[in-house]
Amino acid sequence: MPATIVVGGFWGDEGKGKIIAYIANSDKPVIIARGGVGPNAGHTVEIEGKKYGVRMIPSGFVYKDAKLLIGAGVLVDPRVFLKEVELLGVADRARVDYRCAIIEEKHIQADRGDEHLSKKIGTTGTGCGPANVDRVKRVARQAKDVPELEPFLTDVPLEINTALDNDQFVLVEGSQGFGLSLYYGTYPYVTSKDTTASSIAADVGIGPTKVDEVIVVFKCFPTRVGSGPFPTEMPQEEAEKLGIVEYGTVTGRRRRIGYWDGKMARYAAMINGATQAALTGIDKLDKECYGVTEWEKLTPKAKEFIEKVEDDIKVPVTLISTGPELHQIIDLRKEKL
Ligand code: GTP
Ligand code: IMP
Ligand code: MG
């Protein structure tokens, strides 16, 4: 059985949390593994009227039979991790690779106190950049050095590759998005690491030959928090007129909003090696699409837009999200793949 990687195609907050939770519930992976930078991410999962914002635990936690693993490439803030473990009641199945680098209070202070990071770049203030600096300097502590994490330590690549060898399905989730990649994003207005599928695979310790599907998540109206170029950004008043106002999950900052960017989407699909795409927020394009679960019930405006997206990115849009709740989705994977 294959591994599937889910990544973001714009500047993060594309709705990866919802897409991953949906796939987890419908495809029942044995393992859901998190790659990406660290607790700068905030994935939102809404199920049965309850809303969760997770920063460390994989958003697929809603599927109760999966192990929830955090790959060695990810930075772990033990306080955030332990709090989420308790809140979600996942102590029996949440595990951390023993090599994860640790975010300490000094990293958070350095992130928030540094003019360049906090003011110019507009970081999330979660200590990720300074912790990655220490990791590169090879002075960062690792998960195995933290007694509170002892019960949760594991060898993530070994667990994942064993599952794959046994023909079991593994779901790997990225965080942030293409435009925030340290290599390919809008440098210097980026995060402290590459965010594309290849790096996410390396974060959790699977080789490129083991990855079968890469799903890039796009939102109909891209958003960005923090500073940096945003070619298709619209004025705030226009976004308000369209009824699109969003706030960050981690920082509570208002998200900047823009129009669909086909050029960026195509480039993101290319570098990620997308095999399919998920599109969220179609209900923001046309309110009549809210909650729809069948392609036939989408409006002509929505269908035309999705066809244009496919033309831009050159891979099929297989998942169309029509609202924040898990069940508000059109799943075309059987028809299109
Ligand atoms: P990062 O890992 O931080 O990049 O976040 P993310 O990609 O998981 O996205 P995040 O949860 O931060 O933001 C997406 C927001 O859109 C959340 O509030 C979701 O509940 C919401 N959302 C997801 N899909 C849809 C959709 O189809 N329609 C609407 N209206 N909202 C959606
Ligand atoms: P850092 O990752 O906290 O260093 O922040 C660097 C840039 O990435 C800032 O513009 C942040 O707003 C942005 N960023 C980091 N993580 C996320 C995320 O999960 N969603 C959206 N933006 C993010
Ligand atoms: Mg987010």
Count of positions (residues) in the chain: 337
Instruction: Supply the CATH number for residue 193's domain.
Output: 3.40.440.10
41/197 Cα distance (integer angstroms): 16
Which residues constitute the domain of residue 77?
3-336
To the query of whether residue 13 is one of the catalytic residues in this protein, the response is: yes
Q: Which ligand is nearest to the CA of 11?
A: 2
pLDDT tens string 217-258:
999 999 999 899 999 999 999 999 999 999 988 888 899 999
Cβ count near 177 (within 10 Å): 30
* Ligand 1, residues at Cβ distance < 6 Å: 8, 12-18, 41-44, 46, 175-177, 249, 280-281, 283-284, 321-324
With a cut of 70, which residues of the chain have pLDDT below it? 1
The total domain count for the chain is: 1
Pocket probe for ligand 1: among 75, 193, 249, the residue whose CB has the most ligand atoms within 8 Å is 249
- CA of 158 from ligand 1 middle (Å) equals 31
pLDDT at site 1: 61
Q: Which atom of ligand 1 is nearest to the CA of 46?
A: 20
Cα–ligand 1 centroid distance for 316 (angstroms): 21
Task: Specify the residue with its C-alpha closest to ligand 1, atom 32.
Answer: 324
| Res 85: pLDDT | 98
Ligand found nearest the CA of 37: 2
Q: What separation in Å is there between the alpha carbon of 296 and the centre of ligand 1?
A: 24
User: Could you tell me the distance, in angstroms and rounded to a whole number, from the CA of residue 166 to the centre of ligand 2?
Assistant: 36
Annotated catalytic, 43?
A: yes
Atom index in ligand 2 nearest the CA of residue 126 equals 3
